[in-house]
Amino acid sequence: MRKEDPELAGEAKAIRIGLRQQVFGAYERGRLVRWGPVSSEAKKMPTPSGEYWLNWRAKRHVSTSNSKWILDWYFNFENCEGRALHAYEMPGEPASHICVRLLARDAKWIYEWGESWELAESARSIAKKRTPVWIDGVYHFASPPPWRLELRVQ
């Protein structure tokens, strides 16, 4: 993650997730305000790269994939398929189903810091998108884990 990202200078708040590095960065007007590790896609359940927005949040959410998965500090970023940032175990490798796992302290911080969408009066359409989430790259399962390499803030 870079200390400054000129591409994000026009955004009040934004999140970048680097799948290859397994790291997130939270930015305000292009300046890095927080970063940390993530655990994204398991090999069989890839987390797709792309542009998303924080949608809705819950302090505790029961997964729709498995009712035994209790997800704390849940912040959805793709409503149709249930992709989200949330606290869950960090096993030292990508192990999530399409979501992005965070350390509990980071998930809580994003939960409190991020801004969810604003719905129209009818609650059937989005009036305003707020905090964008950019997911970039591809994790190379055959390579050494990036957290065993030197990770620097540029």
pLDDT tens string 59-82: 999 988 788 889 999 999 987 777
**CA-based R_g, the chain, Å:** 15
The pLDDT score that the predictor gives to residue 47 is 82
pLDDT band at 55 (very low <50, low <70, confident <90, very high): very high
Q: Are 26 and 17 in contact (CB under 8 A)?
A: no
Looking at the domain assignment, is residue 1 inside a domain?
Answer: no
| Average per-residue pLDDT for the chain | 88
By residue range, what is the domain housing residue 41? 6-148
Rounded-to-integer distance, Cα 28 and Cα 15, Å: 9
Looking at the domain assignment, is residue 81 inside a domain?
Answer: yes
Supply the CATH number for residue 17's domain.
2.40.440.10
The β-bridge relationship of strands 100-102 and 118-119 is unpaired
pTM (two decimals): 0.88
Looking at the domain assignment, is residue 154 inside a domain?
Answer: no
Q: Give me the number of domains the chain comprises.
A: 1
The pLDDT score that the predictor gives to residue 124 is 81
Looking at the domain assignment, is residue 66 inside a domain?
Answer: yes
Q: Which of 12-16, 24-28, 42-46, 143-147 has the lowest mean pLDDT?
A: 143-147
Using the predicted structure, report yes or no on whether residue 149 has a pLDDT greater than 70.
Answer: no
Dihedral sign (CA 10, 15, 20, 23): positive
Q: What integer is the mean pLDDT of 43-63?
A: 90
Looking at the domain assignment, is residue 140 inside a domain?
Answer: yes
Angle at 133 between CA 130 and CA 137, to 5 degrees: 165
Distances from the Cα of 41 to the Cα of 38, 45, 124, angstroms: 10, 6, 30
- 6-20 pLDDT, tens digit per residue, is 999 999 999 999 998
The pLDDT score that the predictor gives to residue 147 is 62
